[in-house]
């Protein structure tokens, strides 16, 4: 091989190694977020405060990513009449940070949330039967659990509650959790049985009237129940506030 041909071949090889491949898209950088919305400050950590606060849209779900392009950033800044910084990335991949919850973590979350709830008179949480781990969006600030009402029957009651994880007031995860509730003998009876005498409180503006009545259905404190007035026989819906008092709901 001649020296001239060898030199030409070396130049081609050097060019192949040093020049970017044509037609191949640049690999975007990656950032982790924990909030429910992506802001310019997440993809441009050095941006000044006003620029950093500009919203770029919702964060992806846990385990999912979203690519934000230079055009996305420029459009969001222009909408706020903010001049774009001189150096912007071609693209940034935004990934929602994930938190792994094992069965022990899930039980702790559920028990803490249920502790602040009124499950009913004589009803307690006996067991959380969560056996599978799960990955959820990280950064949640509180948990809540919607627990079905236990029947009026003494013993164990197996049910499925719905746990919700929140960032402020936004739900970021929701999943079922099997529970066992223990219902005592006391919990198996109603606070106020059908036929019990109650005082019905009727409020209209600044006027309050108390009328004797009789429950026409079983109820617990906090329930809406029908109350039959004495002596008229008229039936009104009312909220039980104690075993012997109820506040009228109709017309409110």
Residues 95, 33 contacting (CB under 8 angstroms): yes
Domain containing residue 230: CATH number: 2.30.30.760
Residues of the chain falling short of pLDDT 50: 6, 8-26, 252
Kindly state the tokens that stand for 113: 């949330």
Same domain, 163 and 215: no
For the four alpha carbons of 168, 113, 159 and 152, in that order, the dihedral sign comes to negative
Euclidean distance between CA atoms 97 and 87, whole angstroms = 26
Same domain? For 155 and 126 the reply is yes
Based on the number of CB atoms within 10 Å of its own CB, is 82 exposed (0-12), middle (13-18) or buried (19 or more)?
A: middle
> What is the model's pLDDT at position 26?
45
Domain boundary (51, 78, 96) is at 96
- 83 and 113 within one domain: no
Q: Tell me if 155 is assigned to some domain.
A: yes
Q: Are residues 64 and 77 in the same domain?
A: yes
Give the DSSP per-residue string, 186-214. TTTS-SB-TT-EEEEEEEETTEEEEEEEE
- Is 3 inside a domain boundary? no
Q: Which two tokens stand for residue 206?
A: 């600044």
Given this model, what pLDDT does residue 215 score? Answer: 95
pLDDT at residue 103, rounded to an integer: 94
- Do residues 203 and 132 both lie within one domain? no
CA-to-CA distance for 192 and 220, rounded, in angstroms?
A: 6
- The string of pLDDT tens digits covering residues 130-150 is 888 999 988 888 999 999 999
Domain boundary among 96, 111, 127: 96
Domain assignment present for 129: yes
Both 169 and 203 in one domain: the answer is: no
CA-to-CA distance for 77 and 99, rounded, in angstroms? 31
Q: What pTM was estimated for this model as a whole?
A: 0.65
18 lies in some domain: no
Structural domain range at position 207: 197-248
Overall number of domains in the chain = 3
The per-residue pLDDT for range 19-60, each reduced to its tens digit, is 343 333 445 688 988 888 999 999 999 899 999 999 999 999
At which of 137, 153, 183 does a domain end? 183
């Amino acid at each position: 091989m001649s020296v001239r041909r060898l030199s030409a071949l070396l130049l081609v090889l050097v060019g192949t190694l040093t020049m970017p491949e044509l037609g191949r898209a640049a690999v975007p950088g990656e950032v982790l977020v924990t909030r429910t919305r992506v802001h310019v400050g997440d993809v441009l950590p050095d941006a000044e405060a006003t620029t950093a606060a500009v919203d770029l849209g919702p964060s992806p779900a846990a385990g999912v990513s979203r690519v934000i392009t230079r055009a996305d950033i420029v459009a969001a800044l222009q909408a706020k009449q903010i001049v774009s910084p001189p150096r912007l990335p071609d693209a940034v991949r935004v990934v929602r940070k994930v938190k792994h919850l094992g069965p022990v973590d899930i039980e702790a979350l559920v028990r803490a949330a249920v502790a602040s709830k009124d499950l009913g008179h004589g009803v307690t949480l006996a067991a959380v039967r969560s056996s599978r781990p799960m990955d959820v969006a990280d950064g949640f600030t509180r948990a809540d659990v919607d627990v079905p009402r236990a029947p009026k029957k003494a013993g164990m009651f197996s049910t499925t509650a719905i746990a919700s994880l929140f960032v402020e007031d936004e739900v970021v995860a929701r999943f079922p959790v099997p529970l066992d509730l223990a219902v005592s003998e006391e919990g198996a009876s109603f606070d106020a049985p059908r036929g019990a005498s109650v005082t019905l409180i009727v409020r209209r503006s600044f006027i309050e009237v108390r009328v004797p009545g009789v429950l026409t259905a079983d109820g617990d404190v906090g329930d809406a129940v029908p109350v039959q007035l004495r002596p008229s026989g008229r039936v009104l819906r009312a909220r039980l506030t104690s075993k012997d008092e109820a506040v009228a709901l109709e017309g409110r």
